Structure 1
Amino acid sequence: MTNAWWYLLIGLLMLSRGLSKTFLQKLPFTPAIIYLAIGFLLGPSVLHLFYFDPIKQSALLESLAEIAVLISLFSAGVKMPVPFRLKKWQLPLRLASLSMMITIALIAAFSYVVLHLPIGAGVLLGAMLASTDPVLATDAQSRYPGDRDQLRFTLTCEAGINDGSAFPFVMLGLGLLGLHDLGAWGWQWLLKDVLWATTAAIVVGITSGVIVGRTVWKLRGQQYKHDVLDDLVGLGLIAIVYGLSLLVSAWGFLAVFSAAVALRHTELKLAQAIGVKPEQLGAGVEQPQIAADTETLPTIVSAEALVFKEHLERLSELMLVLLVGGMLMFDFWNWRTISLAIFIFAIARPVSVFIGALRTNTPWRIQGTVGWFGVRGIGSIYYLMYAIQHGVPHAIARDLTQLTLIVVALSILVHGISVKPMMNEMEKK
């Protein structure tokens, strides 16, 4: 396809998506299925109008997926109910740590025993596919800032955290393949990739979010003394936090999510100081009246920038899922790839969630739903491209590409078909 045809295709898809919002909301499945089908139809499996080679184009795909995940993590972070309370966050924290490690171990074991991959490749594959996706799981996540639905909160928070917490295990897999220095007995990996990179990410994120939140509040003041472009502030915060994280060797995904949570917490704390209740700052509430003797409350970055970020999320979802469809070939669909997907969806994810939820008093219906909605997507694509860019041998890269793409494609299909009916049923109870 020439550039002209690409512009026409993307333009038509964007225009159709924009004009059909109400129609798509009524469909029993997610729009990502449509993008995947179009990409598959135009790709090498059917019409062969284009083929996007994930190994040759890994650098470009890495950048595109990286941007999409960063924007989605920020959007997820500003929706979190704050302030942070351990009891409220206990389940998603356990899912993003204990459950994720169990999932990685199970996938690595399956890859080694059944798929006959080297143990390093198995760990790497497990890390790629253990993290749940903040981009494609929107229909199962929190719908607006402060949404306190336990199921949606758990899925959103888990996706926000584990895209960063999976990174140490990506490095472990690369290390076992001889592509990253783990140090004697893994001490360097433990100290640098696990402890330092995780702690530094949280510190960088929280510090940046608090500073930006307080700065904007002071600039605006209670009487709109200074105008602020919320969208650019939000994008600037993402870029600065991610850049700082890279400079200090911290996990940038985790830092951006932490910054978004800290930004919202700071703005709500400042608003409460002048008498505004947290629920007044939810979706669809603009300039709430705070008291008879005060002016209207300044808009807050964490809420105002969210609409723009969600539009960018939808654009990145369209582009990347279309490319995923265009990367699929018929020979990718085989017993190895399909058996791995079934193992992850039916065994690894539910088992890891069950263990992670032990002694949390989480209702069985929520455990079961969380165990099903371990959506794999753009985050997995990013980690795959990251690994390829770090020198994974060609034969292993091809194997990992086939396995990851089919798991992502099947996740888009099975989770995209089931998410709306299941979430609607859950909300009735």
Structure 2
Amino acid sequence: MTFAIWSLVIGVLLIAMVLSGTLLKRLPLSTAMLYLAAGLLLGPLGWAALTPRPLEDAALLERAAEVAVLISLFSVGLKLGLPLSNRHWLLPLRLAFVSMTVTVGLIALAAAWGLGLPPGAAILLGAILAPTDPVLASSVQVESSGDRDRLRFSLTGEGGFNDGAAFPFVMLGLGLLGVHDLGTWGWRWLVLDVLWATAAGLLIGGLLGLLIGRLVVFLRARHQESVGLDEFLALGLIGLAYGTAVLCHGYGFLAVLAAGIALQRVKESSGRAHDPAEAGPTPTDGPADGPANDRCLARSGDATHPDHASAYMMQAVRGFNEQMERIAELAIVLVVGAMLPLAAPPAGTVAFLALLFLVIRPASVWLGLLGAPVSADQRVMIAWFGIRGIGSVYYLMFAINHGLPRAFVEPIVAITLAAVTASIIVHGISVRPMMRQYWRRKVAQD
């Protein structure tokens, strides 16, 4: 397919998403479902214009999925605006570490018993499928930095933290398959892959997010410098946090998430706290002339005002990052749709996926949230919305690029793509009706 035709196809798809955006909000459909269908049409079953190969193109697919996850993790960090002392934080942490560990173990048992995978491959599959996805879960994420709803905050934080917390299990699976050094009795895995890499990622990302954010706000509020190019600030901080963490053998995913959370803290620590809406309208508000000039002047003043500079910065960075997140979602889900015909799921995959969604996820959530202050309604919703997506695609390609034996490539690829596709469909259909019902009951109770 020529570049001109590709340009036409992508242009039509993007404009169709804009024109149908309001309609989709009224229907049990998600944009990811439409991207998936478009990928099928562009793939081998349709025009055969997009034919990604999981084995041959693993390096490119890993980088593309990695960029998508990094952008989404930074966006998640910016949304988690509750004070760190708030007890709401315990919920996503328990889901991301306790529930995810249980999920990996249960998936590994199911894969070994039902699919015949050896322990290393079974644990690796568990690590690939255990993380919930922050990219495809936008409909159940917090709506503002001050959102205190336990359901939304828990799912948003879980999707951010467990994308990094899954890495130790990926390395454990690869180690048991003989392609990663675990050390004698697993000491190297425990010390470096679990303790050091996790702590280093969180610490490095948190420090960089706090330092860069305070520096930018200081220069703007005190010296009227470093104004504008907030898009570069978002991309620069993502790259800085990720690169520094990886060079220090820390987890870059956790570093980027921590950088976003720390940048969000700058809003609270520079003068009195303001909602981002107080920083004035976004750059797309209003016509290009006339009254818009006054708006531009007001926005420029907000950018350097001591009480508004941090809120203005957060508004601009979040707006840009959310647009980048949508573009990344489009690209990766298109590829997933195109790869589907290339994978033949092994026997028992349907039963395995039903077990994952209906038994393993609810059981792990129940164990992870024992004694937690969540209602039965919220517990059921959290258990259902364990959305699998782009994070699983990344870990799959990471494993292939890091020596996953060829004998296990085909079944693990097929199961992962089937799980992601099933999640996009069943969660995409159910998310809006269930969330509307949840809010109606919440309002009635309040």
**Structure 2 unaligned residues grouped into runs of 5+:** 282-297, 300-304
**Counterpart code for 2:108:** A
1:384 counterpart SS class? helix
Q: Would you say the 8 A contact 2:128–2:396 is kept in 1?
A: yes
Q: Distance in 2 between matches of 1:332 and 1:282?
A: 49
Does structure 1 retain, via aligned residues, the 8 Å contact 2:389–2:423? yes
Q: Deviations over 1:57-97 (max 9, x none)?
A: 11111011000000000111111123212621111101100
Match of 1:95 in 2: 95
CA distance in 2, matches of 1:71, 1:203: 19
Instruction: Identify which range, 140-149 or 248-257, moves more after superposition.
Output: 140-149
2:276 to 276, 281, 284: 281
Q: Tell me what 1:407 maps to.
A: 419
Tell me how far 1:108 sits from its aligned partner: 0.4
Distance 1:326 1:100, change over 3 A: same
Question: What is the TM-score of this pair, normalised by structure 2?
Answer: 0.90
The Cα shift of 1:271 comes to 3.2
Distance 1:297 1:284, change over 3 A: closer
CA distance in 2, matches of 1:405, 1:54: 10
For the 8 Å contact 1:42–1:48, the answer to whether it is kept is yes
Give me the CA root mean square deviation: 2.1
CA drift at 1:29? 1.6
Q: Which amino acid aligns with 1:321?
A: V
Q: 1:367 to 1:283 in 2, by over 3 A?
A: farther
CA distance in 2, matches of 1:4, 1:333: 35
Q: CA deviation at 1:129?
A: 0.5
Aligned in 2, Cα 1:307/1:295: closer, same or farther, shift over 3 Å? closer
Aligned to 1:51: 51
Q: Give per-residue Cα distances to partners, 1:177-224, cap 9 Å, x unaligned.
A: 001000011111000000000000111011001101110111110684
Number of the residue aligned with 1:192: 192
Distance change in 2, residues 1:400/1:283 (3 Å): farther
Partner of 2:308: 297
CA displacement at 1:334 relative to structure 2: 5.6
Residue pair 1:213, 1:266 contacting (<8 A) in 2 also? yes
1:13 Cα shift? 1.1
State the shift of 1:340 in Å: 2.0
Distance 1:296 1:359, change over 3 A: closer
1:385 equivalent among 388, 397, 408:
397
Q: Which residue of 2 aligns with 1:291?
A: none
Is the contact made by 1:206 and 1:259 (CA closer than 8 Å) also made in structure 2? yes
Counting only pairs closer than 5 Å after superposition, residues 327-406 of structure 1 correspond to structure 2 as 327-329=339-341, 332=344, 335-406=347-418
Provide TM-score, normalisation by structure 1. Answer: 0.93
Q: Say whether the 8 Å CA contact 1:103–1:130 is kept in structure 2.
A: yes
Whole-Å separation in 1 of the counterparts to 2:152 and 2:394: 24
**TM-aligned CA distance change 1:297 to 1:188, over 3 Å:** same
- Correspondence for 1:418 among 409, 430, 444: 430
| Aligned 8 A contact 1:44 1:326 in 2 | yes
Q: How does 1:59-138 map to 2 (within 5 A)?
A: 59-85=59-85, 87-138=87-138
- The reply on whether 1:142 has 2:162 as its aligned counterpart is no
Decide whether the 8 Å contact of 2:32 with 2:424 is kept in 1: yes
The 3-state SS of whatever aligns with 2:371 is coil
* 1:179 counterpart residue number: 179
The 2-side partners of 1:205 and 1:92 are apart by 18
Query: Does the CA contact (< 8 Å) of 1:242 and 1:252 recur in 2?
Result: yes
Q: Is the 8 A contact 1:45 1:328 kept in 2?
A: no
Judged with a 3 Å threshold, the aligned counterparts in structure 2 of structure 1 residues 102 and 42 are, in CA distance, closer, same or farther, namely same
Deviating more after overlay: 49-58 vs 254-263: 49-58
Q: Structure 1's 282 and 169: CA in aligned 2 closer, same or farther, altered over 3 A?
A: farther
Residue 290 of structure 2 corresponds to which residue in structure 1? none
Cα drift, residue 20 of structure 1: 3.3
Distance 1:226 1:311, change over 3 A: closer
For structure 1, the 5+ residue unaligned runs are 289-293
Amino acid in the other structure paired with 2:39: G
Correspondence 1:34 to 2:29? no
After TM superposition, list the pairs within 5 Å mapping 1:188-227 onto structure 2: 188-221=188-221, 224=224, 226-227=226-227
Structure 2 CA distance for aligned equivalents of residues 194 and 47 of structure 1: 45
What's the secondary structure of 1:220's corresponding residue? helix
Q: Which runs of 4+ in 1 moved over 3 A?
A: 1-4, 45-50, 222-226, 281-288
Q: Residue 417 of structure 1: CA displacement?
A: 0.5
Distance between the aligned counterparts of 1:226 and 1:382, measured in 2?
35
Answer whether contact 1:51 1:327 (CA < 8 A) is retained.
yes
Q: 2-side partners of 1:154 and 1:102: how far apart?
A: 17
Aligned residue-pair number = 420
Q: Which amino acid counterpart does residue 66 of structure 1 have in structure 2?
A: E
